[in-house]
Chain A
Amino acid sequence: MSDQAVSALPGAEATGLVTVREMGLQGMVTLRADLSAAARAVQRVTGAAMPGVRRIEAGKGCSVAWMSPDELLILCDRAGADRMVFDLTEALTGQHHVAVNVSDARAMFALEGAPGGLRDVLSKVTPADMGALVPGEMRRTRLAQVPAAIWFEAEGAARVICFRSVARYVFDVLAMSARPGGAVDYH
């Protein structure tokens, strides 16, 4: 089955001031719950500590990002997403929550290049302060006209998540921002 599954823009890549690449299928699980009450269960399943506001915590083969006071996004292997939902649901038995697989509802991009140039490229389309975004923090914001989440895996390596239906738009917008000739040299 998985060999028939395709991401939103398989193989899409653009090179300019930075490289923009669609990352293929990515497992994602939305968990909504009372986060303080769910912390132990989440740690048991993911191996990650409960992230603080806007933080991402690494776990066993996955990472857990804070999305709102009662919502987490768990990034994991695509094939393991259903299992993740199952395990979370089981671990949270008796506690009010919802865990759903949203892997296919999203598209994910990698932006790689010089740390400053990378922040400049993103700053053309997001009003969030890219200078203040440090690795380990996820920022939910907008990219041009659509919602998105941005974080840095490392200096010089950003990740962007958007809805699957606007993957082409987001890719085109990022590729345009990264077009050579548009260097800003701000960050």
Chain B
Amino acid sequence: MSTRLPTGGRLIDRTAKIAFTFNGKRLQGHPGDTLASALLASGQTILGRSFKYHRPRGVVASGAEEPNALVNLGRGPTHEPNQRATVTELFDGLTATSQNHWPSLEWDIGEVNAALARFLPAGFYYKTFIHPRPFWKHVFEPFIRQSAGLGKAPDPKHQDPDRYEHFYAHTDVVIAGGGIAGLQAALEAGRAGATVILCEQTAHWGGRAPVDGVEIDGQPAEDWINDTVQALEGMENVHLRLRTMVAGVYDHGYVIAYERVTDHAPDPDAPRHRLWRIRAGRIIAATGALERPLSFPGNDKPRVMLASAMRDYLVNWGVSPGDRTVVVTNNDDAYRTALAIKAAGLDVPCIVDARETADGPLVQEARARGIRVLTGMGIANVKGLRGVVAVQLGRQAGEGTVVEDVVCDAVAMSGGWSPVVHLWSHCGGKLSWDAAGAFFRPDPDRPPTNQHGEGFVVCAGAADGALHASETLENASTTARKTLASIGKLAPDAAVSKATAAAEAPLAPVWIMPQGAGPKKRAKMWLDFQNDVKVSDVQLAAREGYESVEHTKRYTTLGMATDQGKLSNINGLAVLADALGEDIPRVGTTTFRPPYTPISMGAIAGEARGAIFQPLRRTPIHGWHEANGAHWEPVGHWRRPYCFPRKGESHRDAVNREITATRTSLGLLDASTLGKIVVKGPDAGRFLDMLYTNMMSTLKPGKCRYGLMCSENGFLMDDGVVARLDEDTFLCHTTTGGADRIHAHMEDWLQTEWWDWKVYTANVTEQWAQIAVVGPKARAVLDKLGADIDLSDAALPFMAWAEGRIGGIDARVFRISFSGELSFEVAVPASLGRAFWDKLLEAGAEFGATPYGTEALHVMRAEKGFIMIGDETDGTVIPQDLGLDWAISKKKDDYLGKRAQERAHMTDPARWKLVGLETLDGSVLPDGSYALAEGVNENGQGNTQGRVTSTYYSPTLGRGIAMGLVLNGPDRMGEVITFNTTKKTVKGEAPKTVQARIVSPVFYDPEGEKQNV
């Protein structure tokens, strides 16, 4: 059993206890515990089941690299799967459950997969679940869905109650990692006067040094760490951040760091996570190194742990994973674990060292403490079903014949260390193989480069391959100084503290233990614990022709789990290299990609959720719409009223009522969202002549003209009314969605093509609230409000505008109509928009003034045969298709789109053209439906001869009306054509269709008498 030791634990506070639950069991830990240390202290060594074979798994590491100890954290709305117990700080009330087991953690039915392991090799799914086809959906997929996956997905009914945020920072240097190398680098950068952000992913400064017994300047490392942190805290230009992981490095010195603000102490007020978005001149990755497992049979069993992790649990948290621990290693560092176990008063029956000789100072010390050291040996088998009861030893050079059984209850393994080069690699830094240390290290000649072609990331300390404490500080200091100099920050000379630790003899690379193990044993050697990838799988991939490490990764899933192969990467590619008969550096590594460890979706979303998920644009009259039950329609980021249903009224009834009221008396529309762009200058007329298809320069001040705007390719992109304000100044109205786009379009042409034309534009869309006052009583209501403008037809005819005061409010009145009725669009300053609206409602009460929404607007314009950008146009339609030739100037030499419209395809008489459509039965044609034609095309699909672009029920006409583009449409007036529908077809019967007659698109008041009164 793992247990808490009576003394020790530098990070825990033994005087206090905190309660938590695991699988419903109430347990206790101390402040300073991680969930992993507290579970081990409580004797809980099985924490989950593996992904594929459902093998029992326990803690293997003590930090971010942990592949096994993943749990579901929290419950209900705070439930979160796949959380690493090793980096989860314990807090009072923490709730965790284990993952990937059924029915229970201790007894799992999926374990049968393990018995079938020899039938589930690499690529099994690819090979097996192909035929017969229908089996995939009904047999294989449900089976795989049931058995695969790790954590439980959060219940979609729940909403995450926490909040998240971003934080932008700009700094000279980001230092990732607060171990002794990171602290030393920060010291140099701080002294050089650089602005520094130092991030440490755990809750403590100093990294491994205190656990490994490092001394600095003759004192325990902890003293130096405390002094250095204190010195850094005193520097104004240095910012220290605990619980903050540098997740990724991107181009241009962009760094993402992930701060877990309240994971360790839930606080409803504070953001749970904060995503730091940093612009840094240089990045110093002092990210340390990770210990590698050894690949021996049974190395995945609970209580087989990394030697360094076991040391951490002993020293940091006072937890012993077992009473009798066998240490298995290929290096001297693991002897520190044996010595730490001994020092804690526990047994180390033997140290199994794969090297033929071992004589370093640490080895000698172990021998002096009476620990049996077996050299040239390896573990040939681990006995025990849900833990370790004994290991069987054999010669490392042999095939695994057992020469000795050693009774034990835990195994500490060490296969050497790999520098954490992730941040170096994110932007393309290259690696070189260090044969002596058997690891990849950053190649200083091939760094990731920034926008100036300079290397902008460096690795310092162990991350640079300076693994031994005696080199670490010196390396960090030198690297930091060089990097700072490259951005013009010179650190004053200062003595670098001297770190010392017991010397270590070289390791011997060991990738398979025992090296000659047969297939049966190799199928029990785990490389990737989380994804259940074994030595045998990688070797199989190599045999099947997978030579690239990237392909092997995908075929076997090696390194593709949530831990991204932190433990398995180097071992896996060494095994692959061996199987291919290649050198390790020739095989290379897979690509390291951000984030370093998974970050929460909440942190990525930041503040963007709930009411501020997206900006919602509101007109000055929005509040009235809201208070009066508007049914909304999103239009860009605006929300416009679709209709204003009264109590008990359907949307369709509301729309019909609004139309009838407008056509018979008075309707009001909030048209504030329409784009309004002022175009001014001596060349303004010439400019607008280029932008619009028709002639704008001839427009007289005081008049309005409807215009079409096309893209260079001739396609219709926007339309609207242009008013000439004075000789030099025009006001261009755009569609709601077009305001920003058309303004940018204008600036684009003015700045890049016609930069010498004297034209300025200003987007004044939001300066004005605009209200359309529409219907036979429109003039009456404005007169009633009291206008100092003569609104009579003689003084202000159709397509004229005037300026003055109405109801005491400064206003511009445009006599334009999108409904076919007498209509005044009145623009008032936005701050008075609501006041003017209220006045209109009050004065209009006697006329039954009826606010109407976008749907009534659409129906009324369709009744008049007016086109709508986005309905009649879709980016492939030119004005000529819509019968708008009258709005295309023949007199102008040029306008945007003119030449494109002369291309053969554009002048093809077979282009579908706009017509009106009336169903014979009066029904409403389905939106988007196609007009059917004889025969089939080359794909066997029925031919078509047109399509519906707008279709509505017209309450004015009491029937369905539609517009559509039809082949030779305008020449076929009166002809009846057939449209398809989506109505359900009865088996054996022909698909349901609707018949419609081709008519003029102007259904209502074709003479325009109603608007000219």
- Write the chain A residue with the least CB distance to B169: A186
Contacting residues, chain B, for A126 (C-beta < 8 A): 168
Contacting residues, chain A, for B808 (C-beta < 8 A): 1
Q: Is A60 an interface residue when CB atoms closer than 8 A count as contact?
A: no
- Chain A 113-168 residues near chain B, CB threshold 8 A: 120, 123-132, 144-146, 163-168
Task: Please judge, given known A-B contacts A97-B760, A164-B620, whether A181 and B269 are in contact too, CB under 8 Å.
Answer: yes
**Residue-by-residue, is A1-29 near B (CB-CB < 8 Å gives 1, otherwise 0)?**
10011111000000000000000010000
How many chain A residues touch B (CB < 8 A): the figure is 52
Q: Tell me the minimal C-beta distance from A52 to chain B in angstroms.
A: 21
Contacting residues, chain B, for A70 (C-beta < 8 A): 760
Contacting residues, chain A, for B680 (C-beta < 8 A): 97-98
Task: Please judge, given known A-B contacts A5-B835, A104-B768, A163-B766, whether A172 and B271 are in contact too, CB under 8 Å.
Answer: no
For B165, B267, B758, the residue with the greatest tally of chain A CB atoms inside 10 Å of its CB is B165
Q: Is A100 an interface residue when CB atoms closer than 8 A count as contact?
A: yes
Q: Tell me the minimal C-beta distance from A126 to chain B in angstroms.
A: 7
Query: What separation, in Å, do the CA atoms of A163 and B268 have in the docked complex?
Result: 32
Asked if residues A144 and B767 are in contact (CB atoms below 8 Å), the reply is no
How many chain B residues touch A (CB < 8 A): the figure is 52
Asked if residues A100 and B764 are in contact (CB atoms below 8 Å), the reply is yes
Asked if residues A180 and B269 are in contact (CB atoms below 8 Å), the reply is yes
Query: What separation, in Å, do the CA atoms of A181 and B163 have in the docked complex?
Result: 11
Q: Is B239 an interface residue when CB atoms closer than 8 A count as contact?
A: yes
Contacting residues, chain B, for A131 (C-beta < 8 A): 170
Q: Tell me the minimal C-beta distance from B727 to chain A in angstroms.
A: 13
Asked if residues A124 and B764 are in contact (CB atoms below 8 Å), the reply is no
Contacting residues, chain B, for A176 (C-beta < 8 A): 163, 165, 607, 612
Contacting residues, chain B, for A125 (C-beta < 8 A): 166, 607
Task: Please judge, given known A-B contacts A5-B832, A104-B829, A176-B607, whether A146 and B169 are in contact too, CB under 8 Å.
Answer: no
Instruction: Compute the total of residue contacts between A and B using a CB distance below 8 Å.
Output: 136
Q: Is A46 an interface residue when CB atoms closer than 8 A count as contact?
A: no
Query: What separation, in Å, do the CA atoms of A96 and B729 have in the docked complex?
Result: 11
**Residue-by-residue, is B262-300 near A (CB-CB < 8 Å gives 1, otherwise 0)?**
000001111100100101000000000000000000000
Q: Tell me the minimal C-beta distance from A70 to chain B in angstroms.
A: 8
For A1, A7, A25, A30, the residue with the greatest tally of chain B CB atoms inside 10 Å of its CB is A1
Q: Is B401 an interface residue when CB atoms closer than 8 A count as contact?
A: no
Q: Is B611 an interface residue when CB atoms closer than 8 A count as contact?
A: yes
Query: What separation, in Å, do the CA atoms of A116 and B357 have in the docked complex?
Result: 60
Task: Please judge, given known A-B contacts A5-B829, A96-B682, A124-B166, whether A102 and B616 are in contact too, CB under 8 Å.
Answer: no
Contacting residues, chain A, for B768 (C-beta < 8 A): 104
Q: Among the listed A96, A166, A181, A186, which residue makes an inter-chain contact with B239, where contact means beta carbons less than 8 Å apart?
A: A186
Contacting residues, chain B, for A106 (C-beta < 8 A): 766
Task: Please judge, given known A-B contacts A124-B167, A132-B170, A172-B612, whether A96 and B760 are in contact too, CB under 8 Å.
Answer: yes
- Write the chain B residue with the least CB distance to A9: B618
- Chain B 833-849 residues near chain A, CB threshold 8 A: 834-835
Asked if residues B758 and A100 are in contact (CB atoms below 8 Å), the reply is no
Contacting residues, chain A, for B369 (C-beta < 8 A): none
Q: Among the listed A129, A168, A181, which residue makes an inter-chain contact with B271, where contact means beta carbons less than 8 Å apart?
A: A181
Q: Tell me the minimal C-beta distance from A123 to chain B in angstroms.
A: 5
Query: What separation, in Å, do the CA atoms of A131 and B172 have in the docked complex?
Result: 13
Asked if residues B765 and A105 are in contact (CB atoms below 8 Å), the reply is yes
Asked if residues A104 and B760 are in contact (CB atoms below 8 Å), the reply is no
- Chain B 144-175 residues near chain A, CB threshold 8 A: 163, 165-170
Query: What separation, in Å, do the CA atoms of A106 and B620 have in the docked complex?
Result: 11
- Chain B 807-862 residues near chain A, CB threshold 8 A: 808-810, 829-832, 834-835
Contacting residues, chain B, for A173 (C-beta < 8 A): 607, 612
- Chain B 604-625 residues near chain A, CB threshold 8 A: 607-608, 611-612, 614-620
Asked if residues A165 and B619 are in contact (CB atoms below 8 Å), the reply is yes
Query: What separation, in Å, do the CA atoms of A4 and B637 have in the docked complex?
Result: 27
Q: Tell me the minimal C-beta distance from B736 to chain A in angstroms.
A: 11
Q: Is B671 an interface residue when CB atoms closer than 8 A count as contact?
A: no
**Residue-by-residue, is B756-790 near A (CB-CB < 8 Å gives 1, otherwise 0)?**
00101110111110000000000000000000000
- Write the chain A residue with the least CB distance to B268: A181
Q: Is B681 an interface residue when CB atoms closer than 8 A count as contact?
A: yes
Q: Among the listed A102, A130, A180, which residue makes an inter-chain contact with B762, where contact means beta carbons less than 8 Å apart?
A: A102
Query: What separation, in Å, do the CA atoms of A124 and B810 have in the docked complex?
Result: 40
Contacting residues, chain A, for B616 (C-beta < 8 A): 166, 168-169
Asked if residues B767 and A101 are in contact (CB atoms below 8 Å), the reply is yes
Q: Among the listed A127, A172, A180, which residue makes an inter-chain contact with B611, where contact means beta carbons less than 8 Å apart?
A: A172
Q: Is B603 an interface residue when CB atoms closer than 8 A count as contact?
A: no
**Residue-by-residue, is A78-114 near B (CB-CB < 8 Å gives 1, otherwise 0)?**
0000000000000000001110111111100000000
Asked if residues B165 and A124 are in contact (CB atoms below 8 Å), the reply is yes
Asked if residues B165 and A105 are in contact (CB atoms below 8 Å), the reply is no
Q: Tell me the minimal C-beta distance from B246 to chain A in angstroms.
A: 16
Contacting residues, chain B, for A32 (C-beta < 8 A): 760-762
**Residue-by-residue, is B780-810 near A (CB-CB < 8 Å gives 1, otherwise 0)?**
0000000000000000000000000000111
Query: What separation, in Å, do the CA atoms of A183 and B493 have in the docked complex?
Result: 36
Query: What separation, in Å, do the CA atoms of A47 and B614 have in the docked complex?
Result: 41
Task: Please judge, given known A-B contacts A1-B808, A96-B682, A182-B165, whether A105 and B608 are in contact too, CB under 8 Å.
Answer: no
Query: What separation, in Å, do the CA atoms of A163 and B638 have in the docked complex?
Result: 13
Q: Is A37 an interface residue when CB atoms closer than 8 A count as contact?
A: no
Query: What separation, in Å, do the CA atoms of A29 and B833 have in the docked complex?
Result: 19
Asked if residues A179 and B269 are in contact (CB atoms below 8 Å), the reply is yes
Query: What separation, in Å, do the CA atoms of A164 and B622 have in the docked complex?
Result: 12
Q: Among the listed B607, B611, B729, which residue makes an inter-chain contact with A124, where contact means beta carbons less than 8 Å apart?
A: B607
- Write the chain A residue with the least CB distance to B261: A182
Contacting residues, chain A, for B765 (C-beta < 8 A): 105
- Write the chain A residue with the least CB distance to B767: A105
Contacting residues, chain B, for A5 (C-beta < 8 A): 829, 831-832, 835
Task: Please judge, given known A-B contacts A124-B167, A165-B619, whether A104 and B269 are in contact too, CB under 8 Å.
Answer: no
- Write the chain B residue with the least CB distance to A70: B760
Query: What separation, in Å, do the CA atoms of A161 and B73 have in the docked complex?
Result: 42
Question: Could you list 12 A-B pairs, sorted by A, with CB under 8 Å?
Answer: A1-B832, A4-B832, A105-B764, A123-B168, A124-B166, A165-B766, A166-B637, A169-B612, A169-B616, A172-B611, A173-B612, A184-B167
Taking A33-B760, A127-B277, A168-B616 as known contacts, 4 extra A-B pairs with beta carbons closer than 8 A to each other, sorted by chain A number, are A4-B832, A7-B831, A105-B767, A168-B618
Q: Which residues in B have some Cβ–Cβ distance to A below 8 Å?
A: 163, 165-170, 239, 267-271, 274, 277, 279, 607-608, 611-612, 614-620, 637-638, 678, 680-682, 729, 758, 760-762, 764-768, 808-810, 829-832, 834-835
Closest 9 CB pairs of A and B: A181-B269, A181-B270, A104-B830, A165-B617, A105-B766, A5-B831, A4-B835, A105-B767, A98-B760
Q: Which residues in A have some Cβ–Cβ distance to B below 8 Å?
A: 1, 4-8, 25, 30, 32-33, 70, 96-98, 100-106, 120, 123-132, 144-146, 163-169, 172-173, 176-177, 179-182, 184, 186
